[in-house]
Chain A
């Protein structure tokens, strides 16, 4: 026997299976990076989300040069000159007389590190007389690169907080309905169905309409999270309930009962933990819904308000085909939404693949 090593629980085994899935691991790493850049957005980005300079409206991505006067130098950017063309459109040209080296750890816009420590250091940047727009600028000359990371804070955290709220509700409601069955189950499930019957997007709009206008941006943010969770919990509760309904028939539940454990203890220790494998991939597969929900609200102007950024309201600019034609970089936030959604889905699928054999055998290998 090769059992000399440490004993493995089902989850350990599943995790080993997951590690073999290269694509999923890659997605996990990418997601990790996205979350890191969101957390450290103020440090990673050269400008604050509100730093605007209207002279550079829709400035295209700034070219980075490393070659000057016949030899390599440290990376730098040129200054930017703007002029109007025959159609009264701005066109930007490099002003080769001005040169701004890109330096690491430069002083720039002030921010509070983790909301606590005042700080001015940014990962990289150029002297204040120049501008660097790695991924172009928006209509007000704000740096899209910076705003995407700030926007990630909103968009990425909304998924996590949203799923946390709706999963807590879903677990409690589903657990109680499934464990007790009968009348309690009937009532709780009818309530769930009421929530599920209304098409999500209309419910979203209706609930958003109920949010007072004078809310500040933080309040709006939490209102959106609560609204999204409010829509999301019912589906989860139903599935958890279905699992509990069959789990409560298992002999180890009866054994726990005959040992005198209370209903609450049994649900918490012997029923809900068994929905965990399912829960993990359900969480992965439902987070994109929250991100997309927020984006949709913000896109149509009902979500996060300018100057705060979210991937949804950054895209609001891209609703005009003319803008997309002339300033294609404003579509970049969509790429981030797309990548995030894909990553969560790939990870969710991979988790299902490696958890499923156990779910099916139901007896733990």
Chain B
């Protein structure tokens, strides 16, 4: 098992302005998931349902309120920042907004080079570092002259390739792609998706693919988990989910993917004591 989440919950504190009482908003609610090597999982849901929050918890960028995250069988929760470093190499993230995820003051070379800093074998080996940079850059199909450019001189698609390259620098096992193609236009989206397929083979990656678009999720994943208001409400192998969506919210998402006019957005009541129930063939539904 590559990654295992058990009952992960995240509450954000919100300060009410006037009297300073503390409220909380539950962004991720009791999520359990497993990912095995080579089996891509898509996390699908409308915006604000907690996808980004979950991704950040997995990378230990923010602490969960409760629950455990195990990577390769090790519980990450009790690890200090230093102890976490060996694991950081193995899980990387590509962020939603390629205009925000690259430091505008860094040339592309510097950005990629910085990604190598945890690699003890490459420390101070300028030549080996440069080779690694060139190799990864070729893999994401960017020309070498990009290296001396600044992010503002690149298009959105090129930037996202750089962000992918940065994530690959240290040969990770798991790559979390948080809406990595959502901000790109359709043709570029297509290119990046194809690229991701190629990279998976050459770098032996596993993707956790986060999206609000079921069609794109279908193209990259073996399994799809549907998220709604912080909960996983349905999880199934990709084709099974498309053939036989069980939860009304999933049905609505699928209908919207086919023809957006066919849908009227509804509230879906969530059973507060509900659980994921196995319907066979790896198909689970929340009820």
Contact = CB atoms under 8 A, between A and B. Distances in A.
B101 interface: yes
Contact of B101 (A252, A269, A364): A252
Interface string B84-100: 11001101110111011
A14 B107 CA distance: 17
Contacts of A269: 103, 114
B149 interface: yes
Contacts, number: 77
B151 interface: yes
A8 B117 CA distance: 25
Contact of A261 (B95, B117, B149, B163): B117
A275 B162 CA distance: 24
Contacts of B150: 7-10, 364
A256 interface: yes
Given A10-B152, A364-B151, A256 B85 contact: no
Interface in A257-274: 257-263, 269-270, 273-274
B148 interface: yes
Contact of B93 (A10, A258, A270, A363): A258
Contacts of B123: none
A3 B153 contact: yes
B104 interface: yes
A24 B57 CA distance: 49
B97 to A, nearest CB: 6
Nearest to A1: B153
B210 to A, nearest CB: 14
Interface string B148-191: 11111100000000010010001000000000000000000000
Interface footprint category on A: 20 to 34
Nearest to B92: A258
Given A259-B118, A260-B85, A10 B104 contact: yes
A22 to B, nearest CB: 27
Prevailing SS type, chain B contact patch:
loop
A9 B104 CA distance: 8
Contacts of B100: 250-252, 363
Contacts of A254: 56, 61, 93, 95, 101
A365 interface: yes
Given A259-B115, A270-B103, A364-B152, A251 B85 contact: no
A251 B95 contact: yes
A184 to B, nearest CB: 17
A260 B118 contact: yes
Contacts of B84: 260
Given A260-B84, A274-B105, A255 B95 contact: yes
A260 B152 CA distance: 25
Contact of A364 (B56, B92, B104, B148): B104
Interface in B40-59: 56, 59
B56 A259 contact: no
A259 B97 CA distance: 18
Contacts of A10: 104-105, 150, 152
B220 interface: no
A363 B61 contact: no
B103 A252 contact: yes
Interface in B168-223: 170
B93 A255 contact: yes
A214 to B, nearest CB: 49
B102 interface: yes
Contacts of B262: none
A72 B152 CA distance: 63
Nearest to A276: B105
Contact of A258 (B59, B104, B152): B59
Contacts of A9: 105, 150
Given A259-B92, A259-B115, A260-B85, 10 more contacts: A252-B103, A254-B56, A254-B61, A254-B93, A258-B59, A258-B61, A258-B88, A259-B114, A260-B89, A274-B105
Name the 10 nearest CB pairs between A and B, nearest first.
A364-B104, A251-B101, A364-B152, A260-B88, A251-B95, A251-B100, A365-B152, A252-B103, A363-B99, A260-B85
